[in-house]
Structure 1
Amino acid sequence: MTGSPAPGRLSTGERVRQLANLLNLSTPAGLLLAAATRTELQQGPGGLLLGTGYKPTLPLAGAFTVGNVILYRGERAFIDARPALLAHEGAHSTQYALCLGLPFLPLYAACALFSLWRTGDPGSRNFFERRAGLLAGGYRELPTQARFRRRPSTPSIQGDI
């Protein structure tokens, strides 16, 4: 039989992601952050841990991911009412695994700075946000701004042959 695993069971991909993020230390870093900020953790779907009531002001996002730990400013009802946001954050968890853990953070920061420079928004042209789903993450698709002016082309000089 193929398809989704039984409720409460992890798919092979979810198990691989969970193990990778444990070994690459991103999930332990997320657990330390949750403990340091006294954020309550609950078991979520797909091997994810959901932290509710995150209080520090940084980062500015309403939800963010560190390994398999997703931290939300809201309560569990907020999460349950936004399955697309949970899927978006789950995609970031997979990105941690693919980036071998904490190297995801400087890579994400570089992409956010690039997006900010190109559009004035840290998410609109951010590779990681685009791959996780801009709208699901609460981001907007903004046009890029011209940063370099092209020189007018110079006419070529052609003689008679």
Structure 2
Amino acid sequence: MSVWQLLKLIVNFLNLSTLAGFLVGLIGRARFSRGPRGLFFATGYKLGFPIANAFTIGNLVLTKNDRDYFDTRPVLLKHEERHSWQYFCLIGLPMLPLYLLCVAWSWLRTGDPASRNLFERLAGLKDGNYTERPIQPLGRTLQQTFRRR
């Protein structure tokens, strides 16, 4: 682990984001283990929210999958690690409401929660297995949303 990764590990514990991640993992009945580069894994996550194969809170990467899921997806792990740096830069938990605002913005612009989400773009859309959707008129976004229901 590099000095910077150790610093991120410590700061993300002090800013309570990693501890919040462990709480979410406990609620989701996940199994915990150490990961590479100062990360932790919470595998076997049972809750259906958020709808994602993996998501990160602090230095904790949560997934419904097993630990070996990331062995075959090193690029996805790098994407999730970039999110842990975002918690570091935003001093922890303020990232959560900011992330939700970016989800809303992206959805309004594209009908997709990730395409114009600043956090996902900075973490690498392609690395996170996201497809970039084009900007569309708000009317089309609303029409698509209500057609699905």
Structure 2 CA distance for aligned equivalents of residues 90 and 126 of structure 1:
17
Cα deviation, residue 47, structure 1: 0.6
Structure 2 CA distance for aligned equivalents of residues 66 and 28 of structure 1:
9
Structural mapping, 1:78-97, within 5 Å: 78-97=69-88
Give the match for residue 49 of structure 2. 58
RMSD: 1.2
Q: Pick from 85, 93, 108 the counterpart of residue 102 of structure 1.
A: 93
Cα deviation, residue 147, structure 1: 4.4
Pair 1:134-2:130 in alignment: no
1:70 aligns to what SS in structure 2?
strand
Count of aligned pairs = 139
What amino acid does structure 1 have at the position aligned with 2:118?
Answer: F
The structure carrying a bigger helix percent of its residues is 2
Task: Choose 1 or 2 for highest CA Rg.
Answer: 1
The alignment's TM-score, normalised by the length of structure 1, stands at 0.83
Give the match for residue 146 of structure 2. none
Cα deviation, residue 117, structure 1: 0.4
Kindly provide the CA deviation profile for residues 29-78 of structure 1, in whole angstroms up to 9, marking residues without a partner as x: 11122222221011100110011111100001110011000001111121
**Structure 2 unaligned spans of 5+:** 140-149
The alignment's TM-score, normalised by the length of structure 2, stands at 0.90
Give the match for residue 71 of structure 1. 62
Cα deviation, residue 130, structure 1: 0.3
Kindly provide the CA deviation profile for residues 93-148 of structure 1, in whole angstroms up to 9, marking residues without a partner as x: 01011111000000000001000000000000100000000011111111101349
Q: Flag as ranges the 4+ runs of structure 1 deviating above 3 A.
A: none
